[in-house]
Amino acid sequence: MAKQNNRRKTTTYRKPKKKASTFRKKLIKNAILVFFILLFFGITYHYRDGLAYYFSFKTDKLLDKEAREKRLSDVRNFQVLEKNESKAIGIDVSEYQGEVEWDEVETLDGDYQLSFVFIRATVGNDRLDKRFKENWRNAKENKIIRGAYHYYRPNENSIEQAELFIKTVRLEQGDLPPVLDIERLPENQSVERLKIGLRRWLTKVEEHYQVKPIIYTGERYYDDFLKEEFSDYLFWIANYNFYREKMKEDWLFWQFTEKASVSGIKGNVDVNIFNGDLQQLQFITKE
């Protein structure tokens, strides 16, 4: 008879894994939470003056309807203006602003004096801004330094566009140099051909007015296509980024917002800062 093999059965107990991963997740989660809390308070502190302005804490007045309707964009506008308080401030208008009450166009949000205005005159090779004549005349009558700009269409003849601008705009003593507004890339020609057209427009307009034009464009367009080849020109740059609060040294004008409130104008309006004070602005006007 075979012997029974009476082995003693043993039960193996595995120790539960430590919940290190859970603890680590909680730690990371708490660290992220603390980071965003600090970020929030940092941003709030940085924009404290703008936020105070936004919520009307800087006055003793009760919050009226106008104050309640202030947009968040006003916070950045106020911050930018505070950091550039020594520089001349102006606006630009076209037919899209409708009828402007020029005798009321004095300040931005009732606080910042406006010194100049750029007025759209022409578009492409065949279109006049519907309100150019009245805006051009009324700006002069109300003693606002004025300048005229042409919206350039990349797919149309550059010389014809220059001739339309010259035919439309008569610069007088005290006016700003003419402006070429280029924002789009061509559809049926190369960028190199576009640059040739831009140069032709600029040359023809300079020959007529005997003053070098200014080029308006967005910052990215400027960096990618114009900065090097048109370095002999002065630039008016559009940049609305929330983080930017000061203009670069190589910008003549900076369009920092398209959402501002100006007395005498219904709806939003673009606001610009000149890279200098009022006296320096007057120095670049037509003699």
CA-based end-to-end distance of the chain: 129
Q: Which of 103, 126, 134, 183 is catalytic?
A: 183
Rounded Cα gap, residues 72 and 77, in angstroms: 9
H-helix or E-strand spanning residue 203: helix 191-209
Query: Which string of DSSP letters, residue by residue, matches 221-249?
Result: HIIIIITTTTTTSEEEEE---TT--S--T
Q: How many other C-beta atoms lie within 10 A of the C-beta of residue 192? A: 8
- The radius of gyration of the chain from alpha carbons, rounded to an integer in Å, stands at 30
109 as an active site residue: the answer is no
228 noted as active-site residue: no
- Give the three-class secondary structure for 148: strand
Q: For residue 236, list its beta bridge partners.
A: 216, 253
Q: Which of 92, 129, 175, 270 is catalytic?
A: 92
Please give the positions annotated as active site. Answer: 92, 183
